[in-house]
Amino acid sequence: MHPWKPGETPEEEAARREAYQRLASAARRVGLSLKRLADVLHQVSDNETETRRFLSEQVYGVPEAELDEFLRVRLEDLPREE
């Protein structure tokens, strides 16, 4: 499995690679196998996918592909706290 996502910029890919390397190093330090770390990361990814699906279908009623833009616009419309 490659954690890099299609369409990422080289900077995004490098940042993701560094983050995964830091996670792997931390896992080794505490005795967590890389297999277990991969299992946990897959679960986090699955949870994110399901959360996005739920938000797009059940909460906001927008296509998932438009969810990020929809939320960005909604957040921009909120009054700012000073």
Tell me, yes or no, whether 14 lies in a domain: no
Tell me, yes or no, whether 5 lies in a domain: no
Tell me, yes or no, whether 70 lies in a domain: yes
Tell me, yes or no, whether 21 lies in a domain: no
CB-based contacts of 20, cutoff 8 Å, min separation 6: 3
Domain that holds residue 79: 33-82
- Distances, alpha carbon 24 to alpha carbons 6, 30, 35, 40, 55, in Å: 22, 10, 10, 12, 31
- Looking at residues 68-77, what average pLDDT do you find? 90
Q: Are 8 and 16 in contact (CB under 8 A)?
A: yes
Tell me, yes or no, whether 81 lies in a domain: yes
- Distances, alpha carbon 15 to alpha carbons 10, 12, 21, in Å: 9, 5, 10
pLDDT band of residue 2 (cuts 50, 70, 90) is low
Structure tokens at 78: 């909120």
- Looking at residues 50-69, what average pLDDT do you find? 95
Domain tally for the chain? 1
pLDDT tens per residue across span 21-35: 999 999 999 999 999
Tell me, yes or no, whether 45 lies in a domain: yes
**pLDDT score at 51:** 96
- Say yes or no to pLDDT of 69 above 50: yes
